[in-house]
Chains A and B, each alone.
Chain A
Amino acid sequence: MGDFLSLFRDELPSVGSGLWVTVQATVLGALLAVAVAFGCGLAAGSRLRVVRWTSRGVVEFFRGTSLYIQLFWLYYAFPLLTGYQFDPLACGVLAFGLNYGAYGSEVVRGALAAVPTPQREAAVALSFTPLQRLYRVLLPQAWPQMIPPFTNLLIQLLKSTPLLWLISVADLTTVIQTLRDRTGETVPAYLTLLALYFVLAWALTAGMRWLERRAAGRLGRTVAPKAGTPVVMSGGRP
């Protein structure tokens, strides 16, 4: 136990840089995922059949083929096929963004569809252009509803980042694994790793919760005190 902890203290800078890689992969992956989600989610509501079907195809492809395979395909197969090699971290960000973006597009689609129809009609009656309708009426109302499912996806994305260990990116998992191999102390190493991810996930949840309250506040709604927390188990008899 002591060996691992003292090595952990000595190696704090490398743990910090591993943590930074994990945070980077999560944030950049999430940004790309949001872009893909809005792209495909909005395209799913297009009047043109070609656009709708293309977005459907992209979404089903990236949801159906397993993140793990996509990541490995980008890392091993893509350079062989095209002769162009991504930076490994970029491979990770790309795979996370495309995969979680595909899941997120359903969130965007669902939230937009849930905006009451009269709102759409009112916007048409005021002769807003389709773009204005989206920016001024539909998105502001749909956005607060998207945040809780986006939070879930974000946590899942964070939990996928240890995959980077497998494509030799020095993320948090890789660094702690190295410390574990050097000391041979398995249990404290993995407990530390789990605790660090737990703290990261908790920080993300808290941040998203703040965003949700702010978005709802702008619409003059309040967020129920308990909704959106990771787990609510009701005690006592119903």
Chain B
Amino acid sequence: MNYHWDWDAVREALPLLLEGFETTLLATVLGTLVAAVLGLALAVGGRAPTRWVTLPLAGLVTFVRSTPLLVQLAGAYAVFTTLDPLTIGVAVLGVHYSAYLAEVYRAGIDAVPRGQWEAARALSLTPGLTWRDVILPQAVRTVLPALGNYAISMFKETPFLAVITVAEMVAQAREYGADHFAYPEAFTLAGLVFLLASYPTSLALRKLEQRLGH
């Protein structure tokens, strides 16, 4: 090993990386919110009584899930030139993950006992009220751990946003590495920050999952 590890570079890069980390977290939180809401809409829409609604939705979900996030990001960035890169990033992340979350919600909705639907009908609740007051409160509780898992994967995919010039942590690491020729320090540090942030979160989620009895 003939590389001279530069501790000064580590000290110097850390504040920059942490600054980028804020953007990383912001994108993750906003992206998760978009995905959670849109995924729910897709799951409920997937149960519409007419094929004119369900088939296009199923097609959309399949297409979004089987094409690469990086290409979706680069495409959206090239097409929507007037929008702010972070907005595009959050929107694309949100849409991408909503396609996965739709399936999670679907499983949660399927797990609500049939009797609940029948009871709602017996009480002659409207479809809207049935969803809002009976089905969703029961379905959403069971999907929370899975939602957390997807939030963690999204967190680990935010570095893709560097491609569309969002200054998240890895973009900062790359820039610092290039400017000071200190790639090993910058990327090792970025990796450690990711590990330190995501590992405790997964542990906590596993605990939560156990408590909910899965």
Chain A residues near B (Cβ < 8 Å): 60-61, 63-70, 72-73, 76-77, 80-83, 155, 158-163, 165-166, 173, 177, 180, 186-187, 190, 193-194, 197-198, 201-202, 205, 230-231, 233-238
Question: Do A186 and B79 form a contact, CB below 8 Å, given A72-B187, A194-B67?
Answer: yes
A165 touches B66 (CB 8 A): no
B47 touches A235 (CB 8 A): yes
Partner of A64, one of B50, B159, B198: B198
A201 touches B66 (CB 8 A): yes
A81, B184: Cα distance in complex, Å = 7
Question: Do A236 and B67 form a contact, CB below 8 Å, given A64-B198, A66-B156?
Answer: no
Partner of B68, one of A65, A73, A80, A160: A160
A-B contact pairs, 5 of them (CB 8 A): A63-B202, A72-B174, A80-B183, A198-B63, A238-B117
With CB as the reference atom, state the residue of chain B lying closest to A160: B68
Contacts of A70 in B (CB 8 A): 191
- B39-56 CB mask vs A (1 if < 8 Å, else 0) is 000000011111100110
A144, B96: Cα distance in complex, Å = 29
B188 at the interface (CB under 8 A from A): yes
Q: How large is the interface on B (under 10, 10 to 19, 20 to 34, 35 or more residues)?
A: 35 or more
- B100-128 CB mask vs A (1 if < 8 Å, else 0) is 00110010011000100100000000000
Which residues of B141-195 are within 8 A (CB) of A? 156-157, 159-160, 163, 170, 173-174, 177, 183-184, 187-188, 190-192, 194-195
A82 touches B68 (CB 8 A): no
A73 touches B3 (CB 8 A): no
Partner of A173, one of B55, B71, B117: B71
A173, B79: Cα distance in complex, Å = 17
Partner of A66, one of B3, B57, B191: B191
A230, B100: Cα distance in complex, Å = 10
B78 touches A68 (CB 8 A): no
B46 touches A234 (CB 8 A): yes
B58 at the interface (CB under 8 A from A): yes
A165, B198: Cα distance in complex, Å = 26
B70 touches A77 (CB 8 A): no
Q: In this complex, which of A67, A173, A187, A233 has the most chain B Cβ atoms within 10 angstroms of its Cβ?
A: A233
Which residues of B48-91 are within 8 A (CB) of A? 48-51, 54-55, 57-58, 61-63, 65-72, 74-75, 78-79
B210 at the interface (CB under 8 A from A): no
A72, B185: Cα distance in complex, Å = 12
A223, B140: Cα distance in complex, Å = 29
A234, B102: Cα distance in complex, Å = 12
A198 touches B170 (CB 8 A): no
Shortest C-beta distance, B29 to chain A (Å), equals: 17
Contacts of A69 in B (CB 8 A): 159, 170, 173, 187, 190-191, 194
